[in-house]
Amino acid sequence: MATQNQDPKNVYNRVINFTTTDLSNGNVFSEPHTVTLQNGTYNIPLNNTTIQGNPHGPCIVVPLTTNSSNGSPYLKFHLPQNNESTMYVTFAIRHTGMSDGYYDYIQGIPSSYRTALRTWINDNRATLANQSTTLTKSLKFKVKGIDTNVSSASIDFFVTFSAVFGTSVVATDFAVR
């Protein structure tokens, strides 16, 4: 029997909240949102998969390496559920013992995962060892309000990961724009 995944609110995560604005008056109103992953700037392979089996709703997983065996690193995007407007980004490894096939790190990520994330961000780009260079990699998503449900009112947004390479190889971060 597989182990049930924890709620993404209770694991090491980043949170993305969505709102809808009434353009006629500028007021924000409450409505749930749908999110889809679009073609974007990723290389080492995207091969993203929408997975079911997570008790907290479907997720999109993106591999950070070409390896897909147990223990291989993935980014995991928990799509908004239950009439909500929140998406969670968690850091996971392939684990066949989990109900959705992926184990989410609970408190931080190990150095081996950080190395895989940095390699994925670097994307085989050359960097100079004697100077610091910040590189980024972005995944493009589309969000649409369920109530308005109009494609022309949908918005593209990017989840961007960045890392510093070169003399001060210490920082890896993530942002939404």
The predicted-structure confidence for 148-161, as pLDDT tens digits, reads as follows: 777 777 888 889 89
Say which amino acid occupies 77.
Answer: F
With cut-offs at 50, 70 and 90, classify the pLDDT of residue 177: low
pTM: 0.86
What pLDDT, in 10s, does the model give residues 121-131? Answer: 988 777 777 78
**Token digits of residue 129:** 């060892």
User: Hey, what's the torsion of the CAs at 75, 46, 137, 132, to 10 degrees?
Assistant: 90
Helix (H, G, I), strand (E, B) or coil at 10: helix
H helices then E strands: how many in the chain? 1, 12
Rounded Cα gap, residues 23 and 130, in angstroms: 49
Alpha helices in 17-167 (DSSP H): 111-122
Decide the pairing of beta strands 86-94 and 73-78: antiparallel
- C-alpha span between 14 and 173 (Å, rounded): 11
Residue 50 confidence (pLDDT): 86
Helix (H, G, I), strand (E, B), or coil: what is residue 8? helix
Q: Which pLDDT tens digit goes with each residue over 73-103?
A: 999 999 998 788 999 999 999 999 999 999 9
> For residue 94, what are the β-bridge partners?
102
Asked whether the beta carbons of 129 and 137 are under 8 A apart, the reply is no
Give the C-alpha separation, 40 to 43, whole Å. 9
